[in-house]
Structure 1
Amino acid sequence: MKDVVDLSRCVGHAQCAFLAPEAFRRHGEEALMYDPNPDDARHHQVLRAAAACPVQAILVDELQAQHAPAEVSPP
């Protein structure tokens, strides 16, 4: 999983830091530090943090490398 915070949208509510403190943390009064590649153990926390962001500044990309391609049935 990868996550990205759009720091131009982030206004510092810090809901992410409360919900996933190992992945997101405040640095001073206005800066947000985050782990762009949190481990799988933090998966649920990061998803909750992204959903709780009031300005939707957190984007999560879930890489599903082990899924087989979908089969297409003939017309």
Structure 2
Amino acid sequence: MRVRVDFEKCQSNGLCVLSAPEVFDLDADGYLHYEPDPDASSADAVRDAAQACPTRAISIDEP
């Protein structure tokens, strides 16, 4: 699984962090950071995060 975030769309609202905190994180300034190649055990949470994103800024490539 490969995760991508379109920072042109991302509003850093943090819904992805709530769904998959092991993959997504907001720093003190509100900037989103993420793990582009998360562990397979996080796959369901990452899918939930992508669905929760109101701007659809998260995309997932799966083999």
TM range (shorter): over 0.9
Residues 1-75 of structure 1 correspond to what in structure 2 (within 5 A)? Answer: 1-63=1-63
- Higher Cα radius of gyration: 1
TM-score normalized by the length of structure 2: 0.95
Matched residue SS, 2:60: strand
Offset from partner CA, 1:17-37 (integer Å, 9 cap, x none) = 011000000012321000000
The aligned amino acid for 1:40 is A
4+ residue stretches of structure 1 with deviation over 4 A?
none
TM-score normalized by the length of structure 1: 0.81
Structure 2, unpaired ranges of 5+: none
The structure with the greater share of residues assigned to helix is 2
The aligned amino acid for 1:42 is S
The aligned amino acid for 1:4 is R
Write the distance in 2 (CA, Å) between the matches of 1:14 and 1:57.
12
Structure 1, unpaired ranges of 5+: 64-75
Write the distance in 2 (CA, Å) between the matches of 1:53 and 1:29.
19
Give the alignment's Cα RMSD to 1 decimal: 0.7
Identity between Structure 1 and Structure 2 (%): 38
